[in-house]
A = this chain, B = another copy of it.
């Protein structure tokens, strides 16, 4: 039988899931804005990120209320503390999506991403969207299988990040220094987005079950 505490925790997980779905929309819009040099999409992504601030405050409030009303101890207390840390990860995923959109906006009407590396950046964007989708699924299911998928997806992101830097550092690179700076930052933003998604998976399993999952200290992209 589910206790009142677990019902409240499930409700909190649903709010966190909604936040994660917004992160997914934000990073998708940011990536499209970037690749199409689309100012309107960039503004949309930035607006979504502002909404996320409100969602973050609601989630934090819900977690603190859970602590206050139920005064959980031992393992259950740790689970709520983990939920508070989860809010931090989901918040950062939104901020990083905003940074991606900001690069698109700053370079408009030019495209920040030279044609030669557009396929890599498109795949990084797709990987970020896939990871936000997986993280939201974990928040809904609490299933360690979904969380394990995030580790594999993070490996893909790391490979893409490596390919992007290799392209920029290649002797044949003719995109110029400004594009190299933008791509270095973009690579970092996508990599950090992925790291946070991995953390969301690990923390969610702990929040849902009270059992540790994976090595919390070091997502592979860190």
Chain A residues packing against B (C-beta within 8 Å): 53, 60, 63-64, 67-68, 71, 73-74, 77-78, 81, 84-85, 88, 95, 165, 168-169, 173, 177-178, 180-181, 184-185, 188, 217, 222
Contact = CB atoms under 8 A, between A and B. Distances in A.
B53 A77 contact: no
B185 A169 contact: no
- Copies assembled: 2
Nearest to A73: B68
Nearest to A185: B184
A191 B53 CA distance: 21
A16 to B, nearest CB: 16
CB-CB nearest 5 A-B residue pairs:
A184-B184, A71-B71, A181-B184, A177-B180, A68-B73
A205 to B, nearest CB: 18
Given A67-B77, A74-B68, A84-B85, A168 B181 contact: yes
Nearest to A173: B177
A74 B68 CA distance: 7
Contacts of A77: 64, 67-68
24 contacts: A60-B81, A64-B81, A67-B77, A67-B81, A68-B73, A68-B77, A81-B84, A84-B84, A84-B85, A88-B88, A95-B222, A165-B181, A168-B177, A169-B177, A169-B178, A169-B181, A173-B177, A177-B177, A177-B180, A180-B180, A180-B184, A184-B184, A184-B185, A188-B188
